[in-house]
Amino acid sequence: MEMGTGKTKVVLDTFGYITTDGLIDGMLVIARAGVYRNWEKEIHEHMDPEFVKKLHIGVWKGSSSKRKKMLETFFSIQDRPRVLLMNVESFSTVKDAEHTAIKFMKESKVLCVIDESTSIKGWNAERTKTIVRISEHATMRRIMTGTPNPNSPLDLYSQFEFLDPRILGFSSYYAFRARYAVLKTMQVAPDKINDRGERVPGRTAKIIVAFKNQEELARKIEPYRFRVLKEDCLDLPEKVYETREVEFTKEQKKFYDDMKNFATTELSEDVHVTATSVITRLLRLHQVLCGHTRDEENVLRTIPSNRTKVLLETMEEANWNKIIVWCPFIHSITEIVNQLMTLHGPESVVSYYGGTSSDDRIIAVQRFQEDDRCKFFVGNQQTAGYGITLTAARTMIFYSNNYNLEERLQAEDRAHRIGLHHPVTIIDLQTPESVDVKIVQALRKKLDLVSLINQDGYRTWLI
């Protein structure tokens, strides 16, 4: 279901019906750290109040001792339906997470749900392996996503392994990849001369260059999926896109050109240039555009920049009225928050990024949505772009973009979703003759940057 069309409510309705029918008596929700605790609020908001009264909700949070106390209570209750909310990250960092999930599913008939299931698309990641392993104990399974394969059809593999390995019908990821991807053996490291003057061949690897048999793959998953688009069920105001130009400062321009030239030289020496290596260079250039960089010793250095000045001018144009600001860099988030606090007071702004605690994340969303004094929400797309509702916003400003299409689409739809009754203006800050220009153009057209870079080559992007 496309973002903002009500995935969570549909799952909660399903849970309510099948619990009432006696098919299950529990639900395990696994979601990203920035999202999973929102489910408690959604349960109270969307489910029948009489049903909620009988429900016991356990939330995986806090220190190990706090979790232990919560679980003692949770597992002592056997006479009513239970819901356990867990963050997906815990399955790669906390040993008890797997044990807890399996124990719950062994003693109850559990619906296991993965919210934003692209969080387990990495088939070789430890948390993916763990979650696929625990799914064997679930009575029912469901995955939720608006973008099931944002970067590659191969992203589907582990999501459907979680549902049921028989759907795709492959014994391993490699067999699946061989069926649906075109591989080419390429040299990824140059030849070397050893101490005896002998040439040692460089390392080679199989690189995906195209995809195949896509219609067959679509037919396999069709019986197990349904698709809902916004235009099918919502009458939302249109998004309005605008751009504000940010001119280079003199010092910034020199930094940018030097770094661009160095990156071009560095990449030209590589035997095989991947989209990932190009994006790494683009990221460094974007940091310069945002007014900072790091030297070889990883020491932060600020660079004079006009970007925050243009941001504040743009916010003034919007009458300082309920604005979301997206930026992938913590240094910039801190700078923006400090500026807004100075201008409008500490009550005017909330921030939401990786370093924000779970409790503060909930408070930040609630204050932005409900507190008239809180005008500004400043966050990074990777953390705050998933699962939260920010429909109070009338303006959304991308101070800087990252290169993940899924995260851009998710971030846009934090405000453009059910409950919206006014247009949302989406503004990109953009420095002419820089990487900003092509990045913004591609993301607005919903084009995958990895594919484009592979297609166009790195010189096209390092303008």
348, two tokens: 């005017």
Label residue 313 exposed, middle or buried (CB < 10 Å: 0-12, 13-18, 19+). exposed
Are both 163 and 96 inside the same structural domain? yes
Are both 182 and 254 inside the same structural domain? no
Amino acid 392: pLDDT: 92
Rounded to an integer, the average pLDDT of 137-166 is: 90
Are both 354 and 436 inside the same structural domain? yes
Confidence of residue 13 (pLDDT cuts 50, 70, 90): very high
pTM for this structure? 0.73
Nearest by Cα to 316 from 327, 305, 304, 308: 308
Are both 189 and 251 inside the same structural domain? no
Amino acid 270: pLDDT: 67
Are both 351 and 431 inside the same structural domain? yes
Are both 197 and 277 inside the same structural domain? no
Are both 254 and 183 inside the same structural domain? no
> Which is more confidently placed, 105 or 151?
105
Q: Range of 214's domain?
A: 7-231
Q: 446 near 409, Cβ under 8 Å?
A: yes
List pLDDT tens digits, range 161-179.
Answer: 999 999 999 999 999 999 9
Q: Is residue 2 part of a domain?
A: no
List pLDDT tens digits, range 47-87.
Answer: 999 999 999 999 998 889 999 999 999 999 999 999 999 99
Least confident of 188-202, 253-267, 297-311: 188-202
Confidence of residue 458 (pLDDT cuts 50, 70, 90): low
79, two tokens: 């006479």
For residue 87, CA distances in Å to 115, 134, 145, 264 come to 10, 14, 16, 40
Amino acid 451: pLDDT: 76
Q: Does residue 463 have a pLDDT over 60?
A: no
Are both 124 and 268 inside the same structural domain? no
List pLDDT tens digits, range 189-237.
Answer: 788 888 888 888 888 888 888 899 999 999 999 999 988 887 777 677 7
> Helices (DSSP H) in 21-141: which residue ranges?
38-46, 49-54, 64-76, 90-93, 95-107, 126-134
Cα–Cα distance for residue pair 102/451, rounded to 1 Å: 39
- The per-residue pLDDT of the chain, averaged, comes to 89
For residue 88, CA distances in Å to 32, 60, 119 come to 5, 11, 8
Are both 270 and 215 inside the same structural domain? no
Are both 194 and 291 inside the same structural domain? no
Q: What is the CATH number of the domain that holds 401?
A: 3.40.50.300
Rounded to an integer, the average pLDDT of 133-161 is: 89
Q: Is residue 1 part of a domain?
A: no
Q: What is the CATH number of the domain that holds 180?
A: 3.40.50.10810
DSSP 438: H
